Structure 1
Amino acid sequence: MPVVTAAEAPSCLLVTGMPGAGKSTVTRLVAERLPRSARLDGDEFNRMIVSGFVWALGEPADEAARQVELLHRNLCALANNFADAGFTPLIDAMVPSREKLDFFLGLLPARRVLFIVLAPGIEVCRYRNTIRDPRERFDFDGYEDLDAAMKRELGDVGWWFDTASLTPEETADRIVRDAHRRAPVN
């Protein structure tokens, strides 16, 4: 298979949002709508750690931070590999701060990164989390703090997409249609 040059490489979509925002569902639907795509789910990558896993807000905090960095490095390495092969990578990951976004951008230097924050609002996120399969629910009580921090640090970056009144299919269709115009960060 021929390698795609950096100039020909597809954009990389980096999709974030609070727990329950719809990242997993929407990135899957967007990937299905593109001719050549790869969906890279941070939660699935985390499940690769069989023993010794510490979740992002867990203890010990230094180990949690090390594992988050490892996750982000792995997501970006695979995104670069897929883009080099002509696939559009869609990264589904929690990007809560400008520092984390800059870390991703530093690992995707030759890519046009489209940054999309799914932002249906706190109450919608809470509700969506309650209707998930119990194995997929995320026990999280820091919505207000996370929402405020993300808006403060990332509010002027990428596309903040209020999806509260849209179905996942409508959201995916809009991303496919509008992301190249609304979401570039580099």
Structure 2
Amino acid sequence: MPEVRDPTEPSCIIVTGMPGAGKSTVTELIAKSLPRAARLSGDEASGMIRSGRVWALGSPRDEAERQIQLMLRNVAALANNMAAARFTAVVDVVLESPAELATLTDALVCAWDLVVLAPGAQVCRDRNAARDIDDRWDFTGYDRLDLKMRESFSDNSHWIDTSNHTAEESAADVLRRVRVGS
């Protein structure tokens, strides 16, 4: 059995938010700023499926949900492996509900902190629209997702309004709020 850090010492930083919140950029900056860290992407874990992949909002709905659960378990397994090797896992993932958070965190053997990057629905829309066409998300549910995340994660996470932050400011803000294991 691999050695795992003391569970009171967070070794996994979970960063969530809507598409366009800045998760990918901020988690990359966080991981690069720590002495031993790995960035784990839910999108990249989902993208490992080469045949039969269903987008998270796609159909059939039951298959999309099954693949979301698979992605969350795979990300947790990678985070556990990183923690066992004494790396901080910096996770970039869109979480919509307490059930999705529980799927991820119940599978973790390492301690974790949840951070929600929350610039607001309009800022996320604008950022998504400004992306290169190949990098845009075909997503129209910003207002619904913003409300759902606020209802789901207000009490158990660090909320950061990134609407007027640079990516570097957001990363520094995250690191000020969470405890990072060594």
2:132 aligned partner, one-letter code = D
Mapped to 1, the partners of 2:101 and 2:140 lie a distance apart of 23
Q: Which runs of 4+ in 1 moved over 6 A?
A: none
Mapped to 1, the partners of 2:39 and 2:130 lie a distance apart of 23
Alignment check: 8 A CA contact 1:10 1:86 kept: no
1:83 aligned partner, one-letter code = A
Q: Tell me, which stretches of 5 or more residues in structure 1 are unaligned?
A: 182-186
Identity of paired residues, percent? 49
1:48 aligned partner, one-letter code = M
Alignment check: 8 A CA contact 2:158 2:177 kept: no
C-alpha RMSD of matched pairs (Å): 1.6
What SS is found at the alignment partner of 1:180?
coil
Q: Tell me, which stretches of 5 or more residues in structure 2 are unaligned?
A: none
Aligned pair count?
178
What SS is found at the alignment partner of 1:111?
coil
User: Which residue is equivalent to 2:55?
Assistant: 55
Mapped to 1, the partners of 2:105 and 2:52 lie a distance apart of 28
Per-residue CA deviations over 1:14-62 (Å, capped at 9, x if unaligned) read 1100110001010001001000001011111122111111011111111
User: Which residue is equivalent to 2:99?
Assistant: 99
Aligned pair 1:6/2:5, yes or no?
A: yes
Mapped to 1, the partners of 2:139 and 2:62 lie a distance apart of 20
Mapped to 1, the partners of 2:165 and 2:36 lie a distance apart of 25
- State TM-score, norm by structure 1: 0.90
User: Which residue is equivalent to 2:118?
Assistant: 119
Per-residue CA deviations over 1:145-180 (Å, capped at 9, x if unaligned) read 111111112221210111111100111112122222
- State TM-score, norm by structure 2: 0.92
Mapped to 1, the partners of 2:42 and 2:72 lie a distance apart of 8
Mapped to 1, the partners of 2:167 and 2:118 lie a distance apart of 13
User: Which residue is equivalent to 1:74?
Assistant: 74
